Structure 1
Amino acid sequence: MSKILGFDVYGTLVNTAAIEVPLRDCMGELAGVFAARWGEKQLEYSFRRGLMQHYADFSVCTRQALDYCCEAMAQPLSNEQRCRLIAAYAELPIFADVLDALAQLASEGNRLFAFSNGATADVKGILAKAEISDWFEGVVSAEDVRVFKPSPAVYAHFLRSTGGVVGHSWLVSSNPFDVIGARSAGMQAAWVKRDADAVYDPWDIAPSVCVKSLAELPARLAERDVSE
């Protein structure tokens, strides 16, 4: 049975941890810790902006989180270095399992969408750079409703934009907060547990399926069809 699948982009299709590579040129051994803190601060800023109803697109959260981390970790990067790091976000590599999984899911008649907190232009740019744009019917961005996941408004926007039906449309994400947000909004959701040490929030709102890699997803969705 064909499905509408909304793929989170950053961390699910695109390897955000790869930002550590250009960071090493700036700060050496601190790069890994800095990258992790930067990512955490990005999300914190997006959540806070959602609660405050003070929207700015995700690139602003990214830049301001970088500025915060530079000060908090005593890494006084130049404006040129900061610009290079921000630009690197537009060229992050995809995970090795992405291309084959998208091809198989599309060949099985599923409708694929990129579904992101990132601005539409930014998401289109990174998908084009990774040469996977053609697998997606379109991009659904949180910027259209001026709030971020996991706000229910973002998932409702996805359903409206794709013609999806509650209970039969899917989010695919490596982010537990995103999976919980989608499930709370009535969608099905696949958690991609890319890190063996990743912890899913114990909120009693389970993912519909859990996979270690996107390569497992087509088979798991087929199993769901049989069980239903």
Structure 2
Amino acid sequence: MKPKLLIFDVNETLLDLTPLKESINQLLGSENAFDDWFSKLIQFAMVETLAGKYSDFGDIGVATLKMTAEKFQKNISEEEIKFSLKIIKELQPYPEVKSALEVLKSEGFKLVALTNGSMETLKQQMKFSRLDSIFDALYSVESVRKFKPHPDTYNHVLKAEQTKAEHALLIAAHAWDIAGAQSTGMQTAFIKRKGKFVYPKAKKPNLICEDFDELYKKLQNEV
């Protein structure tokens, strides 16, 4: 079934985190620091939701970076942490993203973004990356105070957009995000960014694409 609503994850799906990765790796003196930190960030965001709590994603980012610094035996200041993490608001989209989004929108798809980050951060990201004019709406999980992949985060968007799950497509580079969207009955598209892989125990995504250019071509074939 051709989807009407396209829901895009933001970090590592739309936006390239390489500058943030380089900053954190340099700060902690290891090429593995970013991957270690980002895994902790996602893990403890999920812990908050499972425990029935909610903290700002940015605050969890600071806390987990402190944990990561301890692992790498680095004594870093609060100022250094905040300086490194502010880069997340100044990221560029992957090269093919903007043009592919513009074509998708011109063909009648409704485009929205859904992030685990705050709405303030999301707006800054979209403005800096110059993607803000393309999206019809922006959504943050702070509205439901639960992090993806909790079903309530996706259902909030579906309700706001007055769209049935089967008419929506979640596009993400994270297997856990795909699994969460599948639990609501949404269609899914996995973007194979570097180092990202499909979870073998989950249902296969409706689409598996190398990048947004392939996403557009596959969606075009469904018209």
TM-score range, shorter chain: over 0.9
Matching residue of 2:115: 116
Residue type of the alignment partner of 1:26: L
Matching residue of 2:106: 107
- RMSD between aligned alpha carbons? 1.5
In the TM superposition, residue 78 of structure 1 has moved relative to its aligned partner by 2.0
Distance 1:206 1:85 in 2: 36
1:151 to 1:27, Cα distance in 2 relative to 1, 3 A: closer
Distance 1:204 1:23 in 2: 31
Matching residue of 2:66: 67
Distance 2:8 2:32 in 1: 27
Matching residue of 1:216: 214
Does structure 2 conserve the Cα–Cα contact (< 8 Å) formed by 1:17 and 1:35?
A: no
Distance 1:24 1:198 in 2: 19
Residue type of the alignment partner of 1:171: L
Distance 1:199 1:2 in 2: 23
1:24 to 1:48, Cα distance in 2 relative to 1, 3 A: closer
In the TM superposition, residue 2 of structure 1 has moved relative to its aligned partner by 6.6
TM-score scaled by length of structure 1: 0.92
Distance 1:141 1:116 in 2: 5
Matching residue of 2:41: 42
Choose between structure 1 and 2: higher helix proportion: 1
Distance 2:28 2:179 in 1: 35
In the TM superposition, residue 73 of structure 1 has moved relative to its aligned partner by 1.1
1:203 and 2:204 are equivalent in the alignment: no
Matching residue of 1:142: 141
In the TM superposition, residue 3 of structure 1 has moved relative to its aligned partner by 1.8
TM-score scaled by length of structure 2: 0.94
Report sequence identity in percent: 27
Does structure 2 conserve the Cα–Cα contact (< 8 Å) formed by 1:6 and 1:114?
A: yes
Does structure 2 conserve the Cα–Cα contact (< 8 Å) formed by 1:5 and 1:110?
A: yes
Does structure 1 conserve the Cα–Cα contact (< 8 Å) formed by 2:3 and 2:167?
A: no
Distance 2:149 2:115 in 1: 11
Does structure 1 conserve the Cα–Cα contact (< 8 Å) formed by 2:179 and 2:202?
A: no
Does structure 2 conserve the Cα–Cα contact (< 8 Å) formed by 1:2 and 1:109?
A: no
Distance 1:80 1:42 in 2: 19
Residue type of the alignment partner of 2:16: N
Q: Which secondary structure state, in structure 2, belongs to the residue aligned with residue 170 of structure 1? A: strand
In the TM superposition, residue 24 of structure 1 has moved relative to its aligned partner by 5.0
Does structure 2 conserve the Cα–Cα contact (< 8 Å) formed by 1:6 and 1:115?
A: yes
1:213 to 1:78, Cα distance in 2 relative to 1, 3 A: same
Does structure 2 conserve the Cα–Cα contact (< 8 Å) formed by 1:113 and 1:137?
A: yes
Does structure 2 conserve the Cα–Cα contact (< 8 Å) formed by 1:2 and 1:108?
A: no
Count, aligned residues? 222
Q: Which secondary structure state, in structure 2, belongs to the residue aligned with residue 207 of structure 1? A: coil
Q: Structure 1: which 5+ runs fail to align?
A: none
1:7 to 1:51, Cα distance in 2 relative to 1, 3 A: same
Does structure 1 conserve the Cα–Cα contact (< 8 Å) formed by 2:44 and 2:60?
A: yes
1:182 to 1:65, Cα distance in 2 relative to 1, 3 A: same
Q: Structure 2: which 5+ runs fail to align?
A: none
In the TM superposition, residue 39 of structure 1 has moved relative to its aligned partner by 0.6
> Runs ≥4 in structure 1, deviation > 3 angstroms?
none
Distance 2:73 2:171 in 1: 36
1:156 to 1:73, Cα distance in 2 relative to 1, 3 A: same
In the TM superposition, residue 140 of structure 1 has moved relative to its aligned partner by 1.3
Residue type of the alignment partner of 2:10: V
Cα deviation 1:45-98 (Å, max 9, x = unaligned): 111011001111211111111111011111111222112112111112221111
Alignment of 1:8-27 (within 5 A): 8-23=9-24, 25-27=26-28
